Amino acid sequence: MKSVIIVDYGMGNMRSVWNAFKTLGAQPKIGSDPEEIKRSDAIVLPGVGAFGEAMKNLRSQNLVDPLRNLVLGEGKPFLGICLGLQLLAEDSEELGHHSGLSWIKGSVKGLPQCKGHHVPHVGWNVVEQEEDSILYKNLPAQSSFYFDHSFYLGSETEIVKGRVEVGKPVVASIESGNVFATQFHPEKSQVSGLRLLRNFLNYI
């Protein structure tokens, strides 16, 4: 049974993520102690809220360096969800300019205001999947996931494995070695979301 630590850095959304992993038979915990994070089989960074506040919380809890060492240095499996995806970027324009974790190339930008597409982007949307994706393995090509965001990761690199149409195609998920992240909320995406989380557990 895989142990999954859900990082508590004061940005909400942890209990529903805990419930999803518990449903799948994993051993989820919520915590922020670096030693407890180190003992886990995988790390999940969820998040709802503003980019700048999130980075401030990660720094104040002295989590930036331990997370980088464990994920990028030691290769511990990692899953970012929603804000947890955006924080991996180099920077963000949300409510000013803020530096991110810089684990991946790209910047977080505001969603475009387009006719027929509301901001914030809230609701179910089909994700265009790349065939070599680990997270979408054995998922139907037209699978829908639940989104709730006003900003997105601007990146066109090969790590982008899912895109969603929001006036233009924007990043829905990324995969880079042991680093996985989704802009949508798999824990709120019913059967498709649970299948995706199962694929993450299988990767572990």
Please give the positions annotated as active site. Answer: 82, 185, 187
3-state helix, strand, coil in the chain (%, to 5): 30, 30, 40
DSSP assignment of 31-88 equals E--HHHHHHSSEEEE---S-HHHHHHHHHHTT-HHHHHIIIIIT---EEEETHHHHTT
Give Cα 1 distance to the centre of its chain.
22
> Using CA of residue 30, residue 36, residue 42, residue 48, what is the dihedral sign?
positive
